[in-house]
């Protein structure tokens, strides 16, 4: 086989991707397009107005790799990136990989003490950051007794990264690597505990882009991808960067905060064909679309969209139906994780069951097991384990977590699932958020999905709370669309609503009406913060 190539053996099901013995993934994602005639095609559209072609990208990636090497970074060194969604994110990430350096994109919403932890934990040589995040990054450096050798701004002052890139050599040989070598890391936020650096191999982005991006979602060369989820999340990294690159398509990069208004504005101006969101954002977008007649009503032109994708948390069936009604297009829900890099169970355009996570993505296998590790019968709930060539190799500096999460090549997702009679995977909550109510497993998610169907409800979180006998019962924390409606009367209405639609024990015994819900930086509800005992 030729150097740096990928071949897909379609005679085996699921198709197995074979890699050449020498394989630096930057060649497949960046340099390949020059051979395939895309030099003058636009790959990146920044919402600020810049457009970058595949040819320019390949050149800047080489220059970036040379800048990093000249700064003193060596093969295997870690480069921490707190960088906004922009062309320079691509230059740094791919320039590092091509030069054998390990890029570690970090969540740009974090605080100084989180960054201080990650700088220490990673033992990184360099920290490169966008000026927008300077307050927290610089405060993190203040907290440390030893700081990394290289600290650099991406832009905004002389000798910044972009400045240095312009004058750097535009030729760079790919550093020797093979498909299973360490390539990049992503810190997994988790709802509890300290972040863990998931170490991904060179082959991982090929596996997700081919098996999910191309084979499941069907990303085509004429697609324009827009991800409301940022590039530093595994979800956004695939949606906004690796999928368009792998398929020779293009992307829209939006550096600011995604709100219903700002995302609609980007869709109208840049006409993406594929839109990637999370359930909370879809809910807020729908609220805006459905308020027609009110002074807040909007009717953005969303006609460029051919499909949307949701992940991060389960998408309630109700949101799927309302979005279809408003836009005429479907939302494909799929479950992914930082450790698996992207989506491994998903709905697809020709096979959707609203309210389910769909079926296996080709290239992955799943097992649902009980407490003893034995597979359960179809229909029964258990812990979801998955297997596939994009799962992380290990957690950096954390043997213990690695050993409990990856066992015999199977990744423990920490999620509870069952497969229904038709074979669709149905989410039942995080294994650790589940409640036993009256001796029966009770999923907070199921009650939440019911609550958000009610027209007065914006968001809901359900947690276990001990009753006077010390037994766990569900408590609902409900954010109302109109906060002034918090009353006994509304509690009664919601109670009635749950009782008519759910098994008899699955109704909240208490209602709280907070202004908002505690969330992680990645937008997941922190149910543990709501538990009062």
Binding site for ligand 3UK (CB under 6 A): 188, 234-235, 311-314, 333-338, 342-343, 357, 413-415, 427, 430, 522
Rounded to an integer, what distance in angstroms lies between the CA atom of residue 212 and that of residue 523?
23
Least distance to ligand 3UK from the beta carbon of 357, Å? 5
Question: Encoding tokens for residue 255?
Answer: 């550096």
DSSP string, 368-425: EE-TTSPBPPTT--EEEEEEETTS-SEETT-HHHHHHHEETTEEEEEEEEEE-TTS-E
Rounded to an integer, what distance in angstroms lies between the CA atom of residue 348 and that of residue 311?
13
- Nearest CB to ligand 3UK, comparing residues 5 and 191: 191
Task: Kindly give, in sequence order, each residue whose CB lies less than 8 Å from that of residue 466, ignoring residues fewer than 6 positions away.
Answer: 472, 473, 533
Under DSSP, is residue 266 helix (H, G, I), strand (E, B) or coil?
Answer: helix
- Nearest CB to ligand 3UK, comparing residues 445 and 511: 445
Rounded to an integer, what distance in angstroms lies between the CA atom of residue 514 and that of residue 20?
55
Least distance to ligand 3UK from the beta carbon of 495, Å? 26
Residue whose structure tokens are 């909370």? 280
Task: Kindly give, in sequence order, each residue whose CB lies less than 8 Å from that of residue 215, ignoring residues fewer than 6 positions away.
Answer: 15, 361, 362, 363
Least distance to ligand 3UK from the beta carbon of 309, Å? 9
Residue whose structure tokens are 């409606």? 485
Least distance to ligand 3UK from the beta carbon of 335, Å? 4
Under DSSP, is residue 354 helix (H, G, I), strand (E, B) or coil?
Answer: coil
Least distance to ligand 3UK from the beta carbon of 384, Å? 8
- Nearest CB to ligand 3UK, comparing residues 105 and 334: 334
- Nearest CB to ligand 3UK, comparing residues 312 and 508: 312
Helices 279-290, 260-270: inter-axial angle, 10-degree rounding: 80
Least distance to ligand 3UK from the beta carbon of 446, Å? 12
- Nearest CB to ligand 3UK, comparing residues 33 and 450: 450
Alpha helices by DSSP H, listed for 174-278, are 204-207, 234-237, 243-247, 260-270
Residue 168 parent element (H or E):
none
Least distance to ligand 3UK from the beta carbon of 158, Å? 37
- Nearest CB to ligand 3UK, comparing residues 148 and 277: 277
Least distance to ligand 3UK from the beta carbon of 334, Å? 6
- Nearest CB to ligand 3UK, comparing residues 24 and 280: 280
- Nearest CB to ligand 3UK, comparing residues 289 and 335: 335
Least distance to ligand 3UK from the beta carbon of 208, Å? 8
- Nearest CB to ligand 3UK, comparing residues 66 and 391: 391
User: Residue with the closest Cβ to ligand 3UK?
Assistant: 336
Are the CB atoms for 358 and 346 separated by under 8 Å? yes
Least distance to ligand 3UK from the beta carbon of 282, Å? 12
Question: Encoding tokens for residue 211?
Answer: 């098996």
- Nearest CB to ligand 3UK, comparing residues 238 and 474: 238
215: nearest Cα among 334, 42, 320: 334
Rounded to an integer, what distance in angstroms lies between the CA atom of residue 95 and that of residue 100?
9
Least distance to ligand 3UK from the beta carbon of 445, Å? 8
What's the Cα-to-Cα distance from 254 to each of 27, 47, 110, 154, rounded to whole Å? 26, 5, 19, 17
Backbone angles phi, psi at 156, to 5 degrees: 95, -5
- Nearest CB to ligand 3UK, comparing residues 312 and 382: 312
């Amino acid at each position: 086989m030729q150097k740096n190539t990928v071949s897909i053996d379609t005679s085996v099901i699921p198709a197995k991707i074979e890699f050449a013995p020498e394989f630096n993934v930057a060649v497949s994602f960046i340099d390949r397009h020059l051979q395939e005639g895309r030099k003058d095609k636009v790959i990146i559209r920044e919402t600020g107005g810049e457009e970058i072609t595949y040819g320019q990208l390949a050149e800047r990636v080489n220059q970036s790799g040379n800048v990093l090497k000249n700064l003193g970074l060596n093969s295997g060194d870690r480069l921490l990136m707190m960088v906004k969604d922009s062309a320079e994110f691509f230059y740094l990430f791919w320039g590092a990989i091509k030069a054998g350096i390990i890029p570690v994109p970090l969540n740009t919403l974090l605080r100084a003490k989180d960054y201080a932890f990650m700088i220490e934990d990673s033992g990184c040589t360099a920290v490169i950051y966008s000026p927008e995040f300077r307050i927290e990054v610089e405060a993190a450096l203040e907290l440390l007794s030893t700081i990394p050798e290289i600290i650099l701004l991406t832009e905004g002052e002389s000798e910044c990264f972009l400045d240095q890139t312009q004058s750097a050599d535009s030729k760079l040989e790919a550093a020797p690597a093979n498909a299973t070598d360490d390539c990049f890391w992503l810190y997994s936020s988790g709802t509890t505990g300290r972040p863990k650096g998931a170490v991904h191999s060179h082959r991982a982005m090929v596996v997700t882009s081919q098996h999910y991006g191309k084979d499941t979602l069907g990303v085509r060369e004429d697609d324009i991808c827009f991800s409301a989820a940022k590039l530093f999340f595994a979800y956004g990294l695939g949606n906004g960067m690796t999928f368009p690159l792998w398929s020779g398509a293009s992307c829209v990069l939006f550096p600011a905060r995604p709100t219903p208004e700002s995302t609609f504005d980007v869709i109208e101006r840049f006409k993406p064909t594929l839109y990637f969101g999370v359930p909370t954002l879809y809910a807020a977008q729908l609220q805006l679309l459905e308020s027609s007649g009110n002074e807040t009503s909007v009717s953005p032109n969303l006609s460029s969209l051919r499909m949307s994708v949701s992940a991060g948390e389960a998408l309630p069936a109700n949101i799927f139906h309302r979005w279809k009604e408003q836009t005429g297009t479907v939302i494909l829900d799929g479950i992914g994780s930082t450790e698996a890099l992207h989506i491994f169970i998903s709905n697809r355009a020709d096979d959707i069951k609203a309210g389910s996570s769909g079926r296996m993505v080709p290239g992955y296998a799943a097992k649902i097991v009980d407490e003893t590790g034995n597979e359960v019968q179809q229909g029964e709930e258990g812990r979801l384990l998955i297997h596939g060539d994009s799962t992380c190799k290990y957690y950096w500096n954390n043997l213990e977590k690695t050993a409990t999460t990856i066992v015999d090549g199977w990744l423990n997702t920490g999620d509870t699932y069952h497969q229904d009679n038709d074979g669709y995977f149905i989410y039942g909550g995080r294994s650790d958020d589940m409640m036993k109510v009256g001796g029966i497993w009770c999923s907070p998610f199921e009650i939440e999905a019911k609550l958000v169907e009610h027209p007065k409800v914006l968001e809901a979180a359900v947690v276990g709370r001990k009753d006077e006998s010390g037994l766990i019962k569900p408590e609902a924390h409900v954010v109302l669309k109109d906060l002034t409606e918090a009353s006994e009367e509304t509690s009664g209405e919601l109670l009635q609503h749950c009782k008519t639609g759910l098994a008899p024990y699955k109704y909240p015994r208490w209602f709280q009406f907070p202004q908002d819900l505690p969330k992680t930086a990645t937008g997941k509800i922190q149910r543990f913060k709501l538990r009062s005992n």
